[in-house]
Each structure stands twice: as structure tokens, then as C-alpha cells.
Chains A and B, each alone.
Chain A
Amino acid sequence: MPRPVVKEITFTLDGREITAPEGMILVDAAGKYGDTEIPVFCYEPKLGQPVGACRMCLVEIEGIPKLQTGCSTPIRDGMVVHTQTQRVHDAQRAVVEFLLINHPLDCPVCDKGGECPLQDITYGWGPGTSRFIEPKRHFKKPLELSPLIAIDRERCILCYRCVRYSQEVAEDYQLVLQQRGAASYVSTFDGHPYVAPFSGNIIELCPVGALTSRAYRFRARPWDIEGAGTVCAGCTAQCNVELTVRDERVLRVLSRDHSEVDDGWLCDKGRFSYQAVHAEERITQPLVREGAELHPASWEKAIEAAAAALKKAGDRAAALAGGTTTNEEAFLLSGLLRDKLGSSHLATGVGGEQPLDVVRALADPKLQATVPDLEFAHTVLLVDCDPIDEAPVWDLRIRKGVRRHGTKLVVASARPTALDQNAAATLRFAPGGAEGFLVALDAALSGDAGNLGGAASAAGTNATAIQEFADALRAGGEEVVIVYGDRALRGSAGRALLNIASRLNLANVANAGLLELPSTPNGRGLREVGFAAGHGPGFSTISAPGHGAEAIASGLASGDLHTVWLHHVDPLRNYPNRPAWEKALGTAQTVIAVESQLTDTVREYADVVFPAEAYPEKEGTITHPDGRVQRLRQAIGHPRAASDVPGSGVRALWQVISDVARELGHSAGTAIAGAVVSKRVFEAVPFYNGMTLDGIGGRGLRWQEHATFEVEQSDPFVLAVPASLPAKGESELRLGTFRPLWAHKDVDLSPALQFIRAKQVVELSKADADARGIGEGDRVEIGNGTRIPGTARIRAAIPAGSVFVAEGIAEHNANVLTHGIVEVHRVGPGSTDATSIPIQSTPAVEGRAEMPPSAGLPIPPREVT
């Protein structure tokens, strides 16, 4: 969809001629082009249409007798605006006086005090005195709006921002304004806690201290803290964040609005899981296994042990990387294995790797869509992925496109997605049928009726549905963005995807293309710097390709591989087929793990453990799925070890890998500073050439805009119909897995997020549930041989015959189920455990129960020098 074309117009602001784009809202135009600040409370362009609720932005416009709200008036050619007349000043003072009538004067105890727009505007535009001597409105305070958010209704100025956010941006429709007039207050409709994936954004939106973070409650005042800009490495979306730091501790995460990446929103996982950085459970010094036990060891000893194991392993060494691995770490580690040890057994994704020509073709800059394209495209196609779980802010981006720009969303997935309600067309295929679907869609687009039927039935759907879906995909317009999860790319799926892209002519349409959702946060960067079995830095060919993840597991189990380095990866939790990995790690001669906590992998299998850095401690670069190289900046120092001997605590991981390389005599893989490694990465990857850390800066650089990457163009591939899915019996169900947003080890360690920790749920269709006598919330068991317990959730949108369970969670993880066909049994009625979901059932006019006290404050000892 073409982005709006802007026409420049001229208007008069306080006697000056200002040129600005036509249709721009007056307060924006005055601020950006006229250098005149018009105070606002309720206006926030990110929330969509202005409402003009607070009346703070009144201005005088010639030709209109009454004062007008600047936040809802678009500028027109020849408009004459006055913002500094006595009439305007009187109106502004009156509005501030009115707003402060019921606002308590508790700024000294308010968390917003010092960074509060109401304070600032009162100082700047307020009357200075109040004539109001009557008692103020009183509410019980503070109240728990959710376990993460405290609401203080006395402070609320009824600007509607939070309500509009909930209704129009997050679309969870939970927050509403109850009552009328002076009795109005913000609440959820039925008094339930406001629990949603994006609820934390209202804390930042609130222009007063009415909505505050419970985790940050009373932790610091604005003059006690420092802001440190970095990038959240919690998921693929890589939102730009600003960390609030006090006494070397991260206390809060704020959004650092970047319209090309996150549009200024954060998910609650990114906003609150910073608490894991300072968790007691963190490993802060190297551990080495002696006998059966892991013991704290010196860095020298651990590096020696790791180097000795790698030396013994030679080309039988393997490495897995994921999580917050930076490009620099991946580059050094892959260089160490490939150049020194001669091994290319490097794996990042949970699935297999596509052939090199497909990988290269998918990285074609011409085919690359960007995040803003999700908002402005004619059609967005989701292929077997749910952005809310894997890159949450993309979910908001797509919602915005559908709501405000008329983007058409079409969803093809096995599991119903959170975006289905906004979709113009949805297609359900069987779990594991993504490859069949892509081949069938390619056939439908090319009119290959022969392939269409076969591939459609291989995907567990039918040719008519695929054909209708293909028509819906084409009908919207030529700008199509295809979002695909990298776990959909199995077998010929990559070629099918390229075929679809060429049939839709995406390479030659601007603002259209493919957008991958890698399964690890820096999946794209790891691949581009050469951490892959099949190619070197910049997708260069290598002489001896190595094994992918599954082959590494079987190689370790059979003894073909000797040692494995797990870099921010926990295969027992995050990779499919846990039994195979248990066998592999048990058989492996040496397991070197870089990990931040004592996971099962570390406790049972690791021989050498290097403490992992948390992302606020990292320095380096990561690459966004649309090719934007972004910088991680160090915000806090590395934690010290328990022994407190200087130098014994956590070290930068580039330094650890460099030290291991030095121990192995690999001088090319050593470095004296993180920036040196970054420079080396920029030199080694052809399309990163010319980048500098300064050039990347705080906003990142998309390499596609600065570099070229030539891909051999080929004709559409001829595809075979993929093998059909294994047959299932009458009483059996096809197993699909999904990774909930909350399935992350940092969530498990964050006290604030305990209430929402991912637990096992078994999602099944109404028909299947009825056939088994299962009701919503019942306890069920699922499996085939191995069984795991879970709570049943019945979803109407799931087609009969499929069942979905959560993977990547701490307990009862789906990856112990190795069969694609499972049975589900009811075990008992649902638990009445109040901790499962916090529900408060007694809404009162002034709110609910009094807020329970927040967790104890860990006060760091002050160092006396």
C-alpha cells in the first residue's frame, strides 16, 4: 500500500509562516516545524485518532470564535494560529487548575514525581495557586490493577490514554472507563486483573502517576538513576529499550521508540524479565566438574579444561548457539571451530538448515520486507507462526496496519493465532503440514492442479481451501509481506516459499517481500556471521559442511562427535526431542556450557560451565530479522563472584572465547577488545563492510540499504509433493507444539512475572474435548508412551484432530513427546488453586482489595572507599 503522499502547506503560527506537511496535527506541526510547544496530556499519536479529552492544548485560530484543541485540529493552508495570547493562557491556566482540583499533592511519594508531564505542565503553564479549598476526591490507594501494575485513582486525570491503548492498540478490550462525569474511573470491566501480553505499556503512557509499575515501585527517583540505551535480546523483535540503572542494578525497562523496529511498544516479558539479571540463582563464576559434582573454579582452570577438551575433540567438536548470542561471539566461536579445529558442526535453529542456494536466495535484499512494511502492505501473510509468541511487538504492528491502514491479513497456520480475529482469511492445516501447505500454495498460485491436490492433502487440508486462500492472498494487491517462522522451513518448504515470492513478483515490488521469524533472538545475525553448518560468513561457501542440530545430537549419542559447546542454549528445554538430547549430552565426552543458571543441562551434563552475561552486560551487535544491525550497549557491570576476588566473576563472552582460542594456539581468534571483534565481523561479512559501531549508533543500520548482495536468480523450482503426514487412529490426535510468550528462563527467574509463568496447557478442539469428556480447565494427560500432565483449554478455532501443547517451558515440556500422534485423557477436574491465575472477584466502586505489599527490597551494600 503506498504510504501517504505528503503535500507541504504554509500556515501562520504566532505571526510566523510555518511550512509543514498538510493534514499534520497542529500540536505536532507546531512542535516539529514551529518550535512552539503546545502542552498536551491525552494526545499521543501512537494511540490513533485524537480524542481531545483533556483540553490542555487549546489554541486560538482566526475565523473560529471559540478556542480549539490543537491535538485534534489538522493544519490547513493559510490557517492563522495563536498560542501565546492572553485568552489562550487563561484557558490553559484554567485547565491546569481544574485538573489539579482532584489531584493529590503527593508528588514526594509518587513514583512519577520528577518525570511527570503533569508536574512539568503545571510549572510551565499552570496558575501557580489554586482556589479550591474543598476536600478532594478520595479513592482507596494504591490498588492492584494487575500483579504488575498499581493504579492510584486519585491521581488519574482521565485522559483516556490507557483505555484507548487497551481498546485500539493492544486490542485486548480490557480497560474501560466506568461511570460518568466526575465519578469516572479507569478499571477493567468486571474488576478482573488487567493481565495481557502488552499491559506494561500503559505505565509509560500514563501522563501522571496513576499507573505505576509494581516492580519499580519506590525503587528510585528520576535523579537517582541513569538511562542506558540498548536492545532487548529477549526475542526476535529486538525492541530498542532504555534501561534504568541505579547502583549497577537494572531497575526498569523503558521503550526507546524506534518506528522501524518496535513502534514504541514493549511486551511485558521484555519490560519485566530484567529482574532475572539480578536473580540469586545466577551463576557468577566458572564451574568445572570434578568427579560427579560441579565445583567453582578459577577462570584459568575452566579455560584450560575447555581448551583441552576442544583440542582432544578436533574436528569432532560441535557448537550450538542461541539466546542472546551476539554476532561477535558467534563469529569468534565459529572461527575457532572451523578455522582451528576444522569442524563445521554449528547449529542455531531448532530445525534443520535449508540448502545454501535457498538460504542465499532468502537473504536477497530485493525480497526483504521490513517491519514497517507489516503496517503498510496490502496483504500480510502469516505462515505457521504466531507473532504474539515469537516477536510480540509485530503483533501490535500488524493490528495497527489492519486497523488504521486497511492492511489485509491472511493467516495460514496449524494453531489458531492471536491475530485470527483480524484476519480476512484463515487456513488451518495439520500440525507439521507447513511444507505441504507452502507447496500447495505455490501450486495454487501457479495453477498447477496436479501438485495442488496432493500437497494440500499432505498438509491435512484440501485443494479448494488452498485455492480460496490463494485467491484471497492475491486479491488484496501487489504488496504482499510473507512472515514465516523458521521452523516452517523443512524439506522443500524453502524452495516453495521462493516460488511463491516469485509468483507474487515480490522481488520487483517495493515494500513487499519476506520476513523471517527466527527461532532464536539473533537467528539472522548468527547465520550471517557464519555460525551455520552449511556456509561461512556472509553465506560464503565452505569446503566441508557440518551437521545440523539433529545430526549433532545423534552424532554425540553415537560417539561420532566428542565435545559440544552450548552457547546460551539449553537443548533439553528449547530443542525438540529431549530424550535424544539427554542421550547425546550423556554420551558426549565434554559438554561446555555458557549458561546463566543451573538448568538441568548444566546440573546433569555440563563439564565446564562459563557464566553467561545477561543482555544488559553485553557489548556487541545483533541483527534484526529484517537485516538491521543493532548495538547492544553495556548498561551495568558484570556481577562479581561469591568469593568477591576481583576478576573471578562474570567475564565478557567474546573474551572467554578469545582466551580459549589463545589457549589452543589460535592467534587469529584472539582479541583484545570487544570493538576489535566487531570490526573483524564487519570486515569478514561482505555486506557488513564499511559498518562501524559509531555508524550503527543507537538506531541500527539495515545492511540492505548500504550494501549489495547478489543472488543468482533462478527459474521457479519444480517441487515434488511432500510425504503425507503419518496416519492417525480414530482416538488419536495430531500433536502440534507452540512456544508461549512466557516460556523463557528469564521469566522463571523474575519475581514479578511468577504469576504468569508458562504452564503446560493442552489446547484441543471442542469436538475432541467432548468425545473425551474433557471440560475447560480439566487436568488431562497427553502422550503416547511418555505422558505429560496439563490443563485443558478448549479453543473453537482448532480443527478436530489436532492438539497443541506448550514447549520451551520449565516443567512438563512438550519436547519429551517424540511421537507426532498422541492420545489425550482426562485425569480430573480443574485445580481450584488460587495461584493458577490471580482473579479477584469483589469489585468495589473504589476498586478491589488493598494491594498486597511488594516483594522485599534487595538493598545493595554500599561500597565504602
Chain B
Amino acid sequence: MPYDPGDDVVVIHQPREGAASGTFRAFAATLKGLKMTFSRAVEGTTTIGYPEEKTPVYPRFRGRHKLHRFEDTGLEKCVGCSLCAAACPADCIRVVAAENTPENRVSAGERYAAVYEINLSRCIFCGYCEIACPFDAITLGHDYEMADYNRSDLIFTKEMLLAEPLERTPLRTPDE
């Protein structure tokens, strides 16, 4: 049986053919659109010239991770407890702990992270690691420029995370 659309059919009435309506369509409607275009053109640009210019971020923006040291002793705050790895929903953190010795004291506790890796190609920047950390050793910084040519280069090691990060990203000022 052929499909019968019944009352659902809405008949669209096209503009009538003729000179007046043709002229309207050719000029008036176009000018109406151009009016909006030109009125915006004088407002100036709203895009920014990335990468020469960068978007400022909010203070609580969650960018690339940083590991911290104690300022006075220089010891790492991270004790390798692996709680960040447990909290990580993307499973992108790997921690292998080792024991501090008197000769080789790395962190303040009994243990330290011998291996601390974050796979930033997997990270979803949720910040749970920062919340889980009992020693405030890991925080999420403001850097969002992490593109690279190799996936394996996106695995950040402890040395990379501990290094003083480049402050490449401007912070948004309170009135911005």
C-alpha cells in the first residue's frame, strides 16, 4: 500500500514569480545581510593571534601537571604512594616507588617515586590526582601547550614534571 501522509503535509507557498519579488530578492535581502556584515566590521577583531598572542586562563584552569619540591630542603614532596594513579579515571599515571636511604634521600618520607609518568595523550585533565594527593605534591598548572610530534613524547617523566614549567600561558587578571 502506498504511503499516505494524510494531514501532516504542509504545502509551502513559494514567492510568486514576477519583477517586484525578483528585484527584492536580488538586492533588498542581500543588502539586509551586508548591513550586519559591515556593522560588525567596524567593531574590530575578537579572535587573537595565536601563537603570538595567548588566551589568558583562569587561576583554576587545569593544564599540564607539575610536581613540587619543598622549598627549604629541596626534597620532593611526592612519596610515591600511588594514590593519584588509583584516583586517575583515565589510568594514565604510573608510579613505581622505591625506598629512601640515608645516602640517597629523595623525598621526605620513607619512600619516593622512582618512576613517575603521566601519559598526557591519555590524560583528561580532571584534576582528581591533585585532589587525591595527600602531600600536595602534584598540581595541575596553567600550561595547555602540549602538542608534539610523537605519542611517546607525551609521556611526561618525573624530571619533566618536576622541572620549573615554562610560564607560557598568561593568567587572567581578576577584572578580565
Indicate if the CB atoms of A108 and B99 lie closer than 8 Å: no
Indicate if the CB atoms of A853 and B85 lie closer than 8 Å: no
What A residues does B94 contact at CB under 8 A? Answer: 862
* A854 to B100 CA separation, bound complex (whole angstroms): 10
* A745 to B55 CA separation, bound complex (whole angstroms): 64
Indicate if the CB atoms of A221 and B99 lie closer than 8 Å: no
* A113 to B85 CA separation, bound complex (whole angstroms): 14
Indicate if the CB atoms of B96 and A859 lie closer than 8 Å: yes
Q: Are A109 and B109 also in contact (CB < 8 A) when A218-B99, A857-B96, A864-B155 are? A: yes
Asked if B111 is an interface residue, CB under 8 A from chain A, the answer is yes
**A216-249 contacts to B (CB < 8 Å):** 217-221, 223-224
Q: Are A108 and B85 also in contact (CB < 8 A) when A142-B110, A857-B96, A864-B155 are? A: no
Q: Are A109 and B79 also in contact (CB < 8 A) when A217-B99, A218-B97 are? A: yes
CB distance from A214 to the nearest CB of B (A): 10
Q: Are A853 and B99 also in contact (CB < 8 A) when A109-B111, A223-B86, A864-B155 are? A: yes
Indicate if the CB atoms of A109 and B110 lie closer than 8 Å: yes
> How many chain B residues touch the partner (CB < 8 A)?
25
The residue on B at minimum CB distance from A852 is B101
What B residues does A223 contact at CB under 8 A? Answer: 82, 85-86
Q: Are A108 and B81 also in contact (CB < 8 A) when A853-B101, A864-B152 are? A: yes
The residue on B at minimum CB distance from A108 is B81
**B85-112 contacts to A (CB < 8 Å):** 85-86, 94-99, 101, 109-111
Interface centre among A218, A219, A220, A864 (most CB of B within 10 A): A218
Asked if B114 is an interface residue, CB under 8 A from chain A, the answer is yes
Interface centre among A109, A854, A857, A864 (most CB of B within 10 A): A109
Closest 9 pairs (CB-CB, A-B): A108-B81, A853-B101, A221-B82, A864-B152, A218-B97, A223-B86, A218-B111, A857-B98, A109-B109
In the assembled complex, 19 residue pairs joining A and B whose CB atoms fall closer than 8 Å, in A order, are: A106-B110, A108-B109, A108-B134, A109-B81, A114-B86, A217-B99, A218-B97, A218-B98, A220-B82, A221-B81, A221-B82, A221-B83, A221-B85, A221-B95, A224-B82, A853-B101, A854-B99, A862-B155, A864-B151
Q: A-facing mask of B24-66, CB < 8 A → 1, else 0?
A: 0000000000000000000000000000000000000000000
* A223 to B114 CA separation, bound complex (whole angstroms): 18
Asked if B115 is an interface residue, CB under 8 A from chain A, the answer is yes
Indicate if the CB atoms of B114 and A859 lie closer than 8 Å: yes
* A224 to B85 CA separation, bound complex (whole angstroms): 8
What A residues does B111 contact at CB under 8 A? Answer: 109, 218
Interface residues of B (CB under 8 A from A): 79-83, 85-86, 94-99, 101, 109-111, 114-115, 117, 134-135, 151-152, 155
What B residues does A224 contact at CB under 8 A? Answer: 82, 85, 95
* A219 to B98 CA separation, bound complex (whole angstroms): 7
Query: Which of A108, A217, A221 has a CB less than 8 Å from the CB of B135?
Result: A108
CB distance from A555 to the nearest CB of B (A): 53
What A residues does B85 contact at CB under 8 A? Answer: 221, 223-224
* A218 to B83 CA separation, bound complex (whole angstroms): 13
CB distance from A780 to the nearest CB of B (A): 40
What A residues does B81 contact at CB under 8 A? Answer: 108-109, 113, 221
The residue on B at minimum CB distance from A850 is B102
* A220 to B96 CA separation, bound complex (whole angstroms): 7
CB distance from B152 to the nearest CB of A (A): 4
CB distance from B115 to the nearest CB of A (A): 6
What B residues does A219 contact at CB under 8 A? Answer: 97
What B residues does A106 contact at CB under 8 A? Answer: 109-110
Indicate if the CB atoms of B114 and A857 lie closer than 8 Å: yes
What A residues does B152 contact at CB under 8 A? Answer: 864
Beyond A218-B97, A857-B114, 15 additional pairs, beta carbon < 8 A = A106-B110, A108-B81, A109-B79, A109-B111, A114-B86, A218-B80, A218-B99, A218-B110, A219-B97, A223-B85, A224-B85, A857-B98, A862-B94, A862-B115, A864-B155
What A residues does B134 contact at CB under 8 A? Answer: 108
**A841-865 contacts to B (CB < 8 Å):** 853-854, 857, 859, 862, 864
* A862 to B119 CA separation, bound complex (whole angstroms): 12
**A97-146 contacts to B (CB < 8 Å):** 106, 108-109, 113-114, 142
The residue on A at minimum CB distance from B100 is A853
What A residues does B96 contact at CB under 8 A? Answer: 857, 859
Interface residues of A (CB under 8 A from B): 106, 108-109, 113-114, 142, 217-221, 223-224, 853-854, 857, 859, 862, 864
* A864 to B117 CA separation, bound complex (whole angstroms): 12
What B residues does A218 contact at CB under 8 A? Answer: 80, 97-99, 110-111
* A669 to B96 CA separation, bound complex (whole angstroms): 45
The residue on B at minimum CB distance from A142 is B110
* A570 to B117 CA separation, bound complex (whole angstroms): 44
* A100 to B86 CA separation, bound complex (whole angstroms): 24
The residue on A at minimum CB distance from B150 is A864
What A residues does B82 contact at CB under 8 A? Answer: 220-221, 223-224
* A864 to B153 CA separation, bound complex (whole angstroms): 10
Indicate if the CB atoms of B99 and A859 lie closer than 8 Å: no
Indicate if the CB atoms of B117 and A862 lie closer than 8 Å: yes
* A862 to B93 CA separation, bound complex (whole angstroms): 12
The residue on B at minimum CB distance from A221 is B82
What B residues does A859 contact at CB under 8 A? Answer: 96, 114-115
* A221 to B86 CA separation, bound complex (whole angstroms): 9
* A857 to B83 CA separation, bound complex (whole angstroms): 20
Indicate if the CB atoms of B114 and A108 lie closer than 8 Å: no
What A residues does B155 contact at CB under 8 A? Answer: 862, 864
The residue on A at minimum CB distance from B113 is A218
* A606 to B83 CA separation, bound complex (whole angstroms): 50
* A853 to B111 CA separation, bound complex (whole angstroms): 11
* A41 to B117 CA separation, bound complex (whole angstroms): 37
What A residues does B135 contact at CB under 8 A? Answer: 108
* A221 to B152 CA separation, bound complex (whole angstroms): 25
What B residues does A854 contact at CB under 8 A? Answer: 99
* A862 to B94 CA separation, bound complex (whole angstroms): 10
CB distance from A140 to the nearest CB of B (A): 12
What B residues does A857 contact at CB under 8 A? Answer: 96, 98-99, 114
The residue on A at minimum CB distance from B109 is A109
What B residues does A853 contact at CB under 8 A? Answer: 99, 101
CB distance from B39 to the nearest CB of A (A): 54
* A221 to B151 CA separation, bound complex (whole angstroms): 27
The residue on B at minimum CB distance from A105 is B134
Q: Are A108 and B101 also in contact (CB < 8 A) when A223-B85, A857-B96, A864-B155 are? A: no
* A220 to B98 CA separation, bound complex (whole angstroms): 9
* A218 to B97 CA separation, bound complex (whole angstroms): 6
* A108 to B78 CA separation, bound complex (whole angstroms): 10
* A220 to B97 CA separation, bound complex (whole angstroms): 7
CB distance from B110 to the nearest CB of A (A): 5
CB distance from B142 to the nearest CB of A (A): 27
* A862 to B99 CA separation, bound complex (whole angstroms): 20
Query: Which of B83, B98, B117 has a CB less than 8 Å from the CB of A108?
Result: B83
What A residues does B98 contact at CB under 8 A? Answer: 218, 857
CB distance from A751 to the nearest CB of B (A): 14
What B residues does A114 contact at CB under 8 A? Answer: 86
The residue on A at minimum CB distance from B133 is A108
What A residues does B110 contact at CB under 8 A? Answer: 106, 109, 142, 218
* A857 to B98 CA separation, bound complex (whole angstroms): 7
Interface centre among B94, B111, B151 (most CB of A within 10 A): B111
CB distance from A816 to the nearest CB of B (A): 42
The residue on B at minimum CB distance from A853 is B101
What A residues does B79 contact at CB under 8 A? Answer: 108-109
* A838 to B21 CA separation, bound complex (whole angstroms): 106
* A136 to B48 CA separation, bound complex (whole angstroms): 58
CB distance from B68 to the nearest CB of A (A): 16
The residue on A at minimum CB distance from B153 is A864
What A residues does B115 contact at CB under 8 A? Answer: 859, 862
What B residues does A113 contact at CB under 8 A? Answer: 81
* A632 to B79 CA separation, bound complex (whole angstroms): 37
CB distance from A692 to the nearest CB of B (A): 35
What B residues does A142 contact at CB under 8 A? Answer: 110
What A residues does B97 contact at CB under 8 A? Answer: 218-219
